[in-house]
Amino acid sequence: MAAAKSQTELFEDPADPPGYQGCLSAIDHFGFRTARDWLSDQFFPGFASRLTRARYFYLVPWLLQGLERRKFSGRRFLEELRRCEVQLIHDLVTANPDAEGIIGREARGQLRVMPSALYWRGLRTLGICHFQGSLEDFAQRLRRQSETSSLPLFVEEEPLLYGAANLLWCPGLPPAPSDFPRSPALMLSPIEAADLAERIQTQLPYSLAAVLLRSTVVLRADKLWSPSILNLLDERLQGLVRAAGVLSHCRRGCALLAAVHGPVSTQTLLEELSQSLEKWQHQAAVEMPEQPGDGILGGLLKSAGVPVAQRSVLETWFACLSAIAKGETCWKSVDVGRLFQHVSQAAASLPVRTRVSGNPGRDDLGDYRWHSVRGILNEIIEVRSSPVL
C-alpha cells in the first residue's frame, strides 16, 4: 500500500549553512507564502500537508459520532475526544504494528495536534460533515443545545436540531465496523475507497486531486511538476503546476542568493553557501519548468492576493533566477547582490530555524501538499484496482 510517508525535503539540504534559514523565512514574507497557499488550495482544497492515511477521513467522524451518541458536549466533548484519539493511537499501533502513517505513533499521549484537527477541514470540504465551523464551535453548539432544547445547530445557515444526524453528517457515509474502535484497520475498505473517490470527484471536480484520481494511474513522481504529472493535465492546470515549480525553485535560489550576499562571518561559510548555490543552479537548470506564458506568474500573484509592490519584486526575482538557472547571468554579479540585500537585512531580525539532528526538515512551502495527497490518492487507486476475492 502506497501510504504517504513523512514529507521529504525537496529543496533544502541538511548541509545548508547558517544564514540560509533566516533568509528563507524573510523570502517567505515577501509573498512566497501567500502564493503557495493560493496554489495549494487550487490543487488540493480541503487537504493539509500533514495528512497521512486516507482512512482517517472515516476514523475521525466515527469517533465524533460515538461521542455525540453519548451526549458529550462543550469542554467535556473535547476532553473525551482527545482521550479517544490517544486510545486510537494505541489501538492502531497494536493492530497495525508495521503500518506507516499512524499519527502519534511516537508521541502517543503527548501528541499536540490530533487527527481530528488535521482532518477537520477536509471532512467539511468533502461533504462528510456539514457543520461549517471549528471543532471548538461544534462542541460549544452541542453544549448550548443540551442546555436549551429549542436552540438549533446551524449548518450552512439552515437550522439543524440536535439528533438529526442524517443532516449533520452525510447520510451516505460508510458505517463504522461493528467492533469499532477496537482493533481498527488503517487500510481503506473497497466501499470506503469508492466513497472517498466519489467525494473528491463531485465536491472538487476541477481540482488537481480529481484529475489525477480519474487517471487511475499510481502516482510515483516526487515533484508535482514532473512530466508524468504534467502529461495528465489540461492547459489550465499545466500552467498552474509549472508556475508552482518555478515558484519553489526560485524560493530556494532567492534565499541562497540573499545569504551569500549577506553578512557572511567566515570564508568557510561563504564557500559553503557558494557550493549550495552551484548545486542549486545545476538542479534548477534540469528540473525547473519553463516559466508559463507572458503574464501568467503576475496574474497568479495577483489572484493570490500578493500586494502590488511585492508582486513587482517577486517577478523581478523570477526573471533573475530563471536567467541564472539558464546560465545567462552569473549569480556572483553585484547587481544580484543589491537585488537581495534587503532580504538579508530583514533576515537579521527573524529567529533562526532549528533542525533536529538527522532530520533535514520539511519544506512544505515547496510541496503544495503533494506528498500527503499523493499518498491518499494512491491508497484509493490501489484499493479500487485490487481484485475482490
Q: Is the pLDDT of residue 157 over 50?
A: no
Q: Are residues 232 and 279 in the same domain?
A: yes
Q: Which residues contact 292 (CB under 8 A, 6 or more apart)?
A: 239, 242, 243, 246
Q: Is the residue at 162 inside a domain?
A: yes
Helix and strand element counts for the chain (H, E): 16, 2
Q: Is the pLDDT of residue 294 over 50?
A: yes
Give pLDDT, residue 147.
Answer: 63
Q: Are residues 373 and 344 in the same domain?
A: yes
CA–CA dist 221, 216 (Å, integer):
14
Other beta carbons within 10 angstroms of residue 222's beta carbon come to: 10
Look at the chain and report how many structural domains it folds into. Answer: 2
Q: Is the residue at 60 inside a domain?
A: yes
Look-up of cell digits 465524533: 64
Average of per-residue pLDDT across 110-117: 95
Q: Is the residue at 191 inside a domain?
A: no
pTM, two decimal places:
0.86
Q: Which residues contact 256 (CB under 8 A, 6 or more apart)?
A: 20, 23, 273, 276, 277, 280
Note the pLDDT tens digit of each residue in 136-155: 988 887 776 666 554 444 44
Look-up of cell digits 484497520: 185
Q: Are residues 80 and 36 in the same domain?
A: no
Closest by CA position to 239, among listed 297, 193, 153? 297
Q: Are residues 130 and 271 in the same domain?
A: no
Q: Are residues 272 and 174 in the same domain?
A: no
* Helix/strand/coil percentages in the chain, nearest 5: 55, 5, 40
Residue 262: band (very low, low, confident or very high) from pLDDT cuts 50, 70, 90 = confident
Residue 53: band (very low, low, confident or very high) from pLDDT cuts 50, 70, 90 = very high
Closest by CA position to 224, among listed 215, 214, 232? 232
Range of the domain at 312: 1-45+206-389
Q: Are residues 278 and 156 in the same domain?
A: no
Q: Are residues 171 and 303 in the same domain?
A: no
Other beta carbons within 10 angstroms of residue 107's beta carbon come to: 12
Q: Is the residue at 197 inside a domain?
A: no
Q: Are residues 211 and 288 in the same domain?
A: yes
CA–CA dist 84, 90 (Å, integer):
10
Q: Is the residue at 195 inside a domain?
A: no
Instruction: Give the rounded percent of residues in the chain with a pLDDT score beyond 70.
Output: 83
Q: Is the residue at 181 inside a domain?
A: yes
Q: Are residues 376 and 229 in the same domain?
A: yes
